[in-house]
Every structure is written in structure tokens, then in C-alpha cells.
Amino acid sequence: MIRVLKFQDVYASYGSVLALQGVSLKVAEGEVVALLGANGAGKSSTLRTISGLLRPSKGIVEFEGRRIDRTAPERIVQMGISQVPEGRQTFTELTVIENLRLGAYTRRDGRAVKQDLERVYTYFPVLAERRRQQAGLLSGGEQQMLAIGRALMAKPRLLLLDEPSLGLAPILVREIFEIIGKISKEEGLAILVVEQDASLALGIASHGYVLETGTVALHDTADNLKKSDSVRRAYLE
Ligand SMILES: Nc1ncnc2c1ncn2[C@@H]1O[C@H](COP(=O)(O)OP(=O)(O)O)[C@@H](O)[C@H]1O
Ligand SMILES: [Mg+2]
């Protein structure tokens, strides 16, 4: 298995608030990995540290064997890591297609960008139907699809998703998770997904980590985590 991400004994803080206290995790090519845990456990901080928005005070972050823990966020995107932040954040004044093209703004391979646009439309047909509409007019679920589509337009090899289900109707959430699973399979894309709804994330993940106050409390296969009493009690019931 080719290792895409190695996150080793990472510490990070916001001023005096210690958010990560020695977190270690790994993601391999083509794998969906779930990052679970209660509010404030450090899930978003883990993603922010990977994408360079939060500087670790200690520890190692490697992407495809290269250190990135001192690399600027823009460079990390260019290297092949895209993040869909919590709360999606599309450009509401711009159209769907403009948002998608922005995802590819650092790319020079115009023809491949066009193909990738078509590919995003295949995964999310509703975005093709609404390509000329302002993003602000889309429903919450469609905006989440747009945010994921925009991240895919950068042609990442590691996709970071922060709570894609937040505030969406359950039926839409299931659809989005099915598509995320499909994208990973078809593209061999590594995905690290943060999710409050553990059963959803574990439904498409091969393994998962449970964070508790900035440390990894549990790491196991998705099947074992689904069966684990403590995970069931805390996140599945
Ligand atoms: N911008 C910030 N400034 C100060 N503290 C923060 C900030 N963001 C997060 N924290 C703190 O860091 C810890 C981890 O937060 P976070 O990574 O957002 O957790 P999660 O995503 O698991 O809910 C929490 O104690 C939280 O209050
Ligand atoms: Mg969070």
C-alpha cells in the first residue's frame, strides 16, 4: 500500500489552547479514513494542520514521503491536498461553473481541467443542471456538492472533508457519502473525512481514528469500530 499521509506525534495549539497533543495517523492511497470524536476533540485542527493553516509546534507531517509541516498552505494545495472546510464556503455571488473553475486556478493543463469539469458533473449531475446559477441560490446539499466538486478540480491525491453532513437532510447526506465512496474507489483518491455521524463515515471508511481531547483514543478497522461498545455508546446511538 502506498502511503499518502503520515501524521506523527503532532502537537498544535491556538495561543495557550492545546488542540493536538501527540496525534498520529496514516492514510494510504485509495483509502477512506474516518476521523471521529466529540465537539472540540481536535478533528478540524488535525485537518487544518495537514493543510498548513495551523502550524504544529512538534511532530512530523508527511505527504507522499515529503515533509509538509513547514510548508505554506498554497503550496500544499499545489502539491495535491485539497480541503473542504466545515460550513462549505462557496463563493455565493459566483455561478456554479465559476466556483468549479476557481478550484483549478493553479492548473495550467486547460484540456485536463475541462475533462475534470465533466467528471465532476458526472458525479454530481445537479451541478451540471445548475452550472449557470449563482452558488448562493443552491440548497445546502447542492452547496456541499459544489464545495467537494471545487476541491476535486484541483486534482488532489488527498482530499480532506470536514463534516460534510453538517446541517443537511439525512437523505442527501447518504447520497453525498455514497458519491464520496465512489470517487475514492474510481479515482484511487485518498480521503480523510471528519464526521460527527460515525455510522455514516464508517460506512465508507476502511479504518478510523477516534480523537478525544487532542489525542487518539482508538484506532481500528471500520468494522471493528462499528462493533466497539465505546464507539456505539458515544457516537452511534
Ligand atoms: N480558532 C481557535 N482559537 C482558539 N481555540 C480554538 C480555535 N479553534 C479550535 N480551538 C480549540 O481547539 C480545540 C480543538 O478544536 P477543533 O479542532 O475545532 O475540534 P473539533 O473539530 O473536533 O470539534 C478545542 O478546545 C477548541 O476550543
Ligand atoms: Mg470541527
- Flag whether 137 is in a domain: no
- Flag whether 138 is in a domain: no
Residue 155, ligand 1, Cβ within 6 A: no
Residue nearest to atom 2 of ligand 1 (CA): 14
Residue 49, ligand 1, Cβ within 6 A: no
What is residue 124's predicted lDDT score, i.e. its pLDDT? 96
- Flag whether 53 is in a domain: yes
| Parent domain of 51 | 3-90+157-236
Q: Ligand 1 pocket check: which of 39, 45, 84 to mutate, most ligand atoms within 8 Å of Cβ? A: 45
- Flag whether 144 is in a domain: no
If you write DSSP's letter for every residue of 48-102 in order, what string do you get?
A: HHHTTSS--SEEEEEETTEE-TTS-HHHHHHHTEEEE-TT----TTSBHHHHHHH
- Flag whether 11 is in a domain: yes
- Flag whether 35 is in a domain: yes
Rounded mean pLDDT for each run of 10 residues along the chain, 237 residues in total = 93 96 97 95 97 97 97 95 88 95 88 94 96 95 94 96 90 91 94 91 95 95 88 67
What is residue 167's predicted lDDT score, i.e. its pLDDT? 84
Sign of the alpha-carbon torsion through 184, 221, 46, 237: positive
Cell of 90: 462557496
Say if CB 95 and CB 131 are below 8 A apart.
yes
- Flag whether 132 is in a domain: no
Sign of the alpha-carbon torsion through 28, 179, 36, 103: positive
Q: What are the CA-CA distances from residue 66 to residues 61, 62, 94, 211 (Å)?
A: 8, 5, 35, 25
What is residue 70's predicted lDDT score, i.e. its pLDDT? 96
What is residue 2's predicted lDDT score, i.e. its pLDDT? 82
CATH number of the domain enclosing 78: 3.40.50.300
What is residue 47's predicted lDDT score, i.e. its pLDDT? 98
- Flag whether 175 is in a domain: yes
Residue 186 C-alpha to ligand 1 middle, in angstroms? 34
| Nearest ligand to the CA atom of 43 | 1
Domain count, the chain: 1
